Amino acid sequence: MPKMFFHTNYRYTDRRTKAKYVWLKYKPILKGRILDVGADKGYLKEYLSEEAEYLGIGLEGPDRKVKLEKENLPFPDNTFDCVLCLDVLEHLENIHEVFDELCRVTRRYVIISLPNPWADFWHMLCYGDYRPGQPMKFYGLPLEPPGFSPTRKRRNSSFIKLLRTKCE
């Protein structure tokens, strides 16, 4: 399969405009059966073609309620052409298991987004304060599943040491 690059200059400011951003960026693969995990109000559905079969799941639906912390995705293997999980995994304790579930239920694509607190964190390191009156979001996602033992040194270890010395 040839490499595909998706690009858009569109910027988003809220959940509705984020759905448009995702559609603009990935519309070549948002076809067939689509599962939106953590779908919120199902805003993405507004942008999809009529041929797309959309299902939005999450704590509140919109189409089906699922508690990802307590149950597997209630679908057979290879059910969907594309699975989206946008800004959801960082809220879960069992992210590795949920990731495995996302891969299990798709036949082709999994699109995942995670918040990037790095820019805000870097600003705080360089300039001292964050945004007065604004809470800083920082999620401590585990990089490996429980029990995983790395066999080689991380590439960024010297950079991590530099950050630690800046923070002490």
For residues 108 and 125, state if they share a domain.
no
Measured CA to CA in angstroms, residue 88 lies from 57, 82, 127 at distances of 11, 16, 30
Range with the lowest mean pLDDT among 13-17, 114-118, 149-153?
A: 149-153
Q: 77 pLDDT exceeds 60? A: yes
Sheet strands side by side (includes 33-37): 64-65, 53-58, 33-37, 80-86, 106-113
The mean pLDDT of 89-100, rounded to a whole number, is 88
Domain membership of residue 123 as a residue range? 118-167
pLDDT of residue 138: 53
What predicted TM-score, i.e. pTM, was given to this entire model?
Answer: 0.70
Alpha-carbon distance of 133 to 136, in angstroms, equals 10
* Most confident stretch, 45-54, 84-93, 118-127: 45-54
Q: Is residue 131 part of a domain?
A: yes
Q: Is residue 10 part of a domain?
A: no
| Contact (Cβ atoms closer than 8 angstroms) between residue 84 and residue 37 | yes
The number of folded domains in the chain is 2
pLDDT tens digits for range 52-62: 999 999 888 78
For residues 79 and 134, state if they share a domain.
no
pLDDT of residue 67: 87
The per-residue pLDDT of the chain, averaged, comes to 79
pLDDT of residue 89: 87
pLDDT tens digits for range 20-38: 999 999 999 999 999 999 9
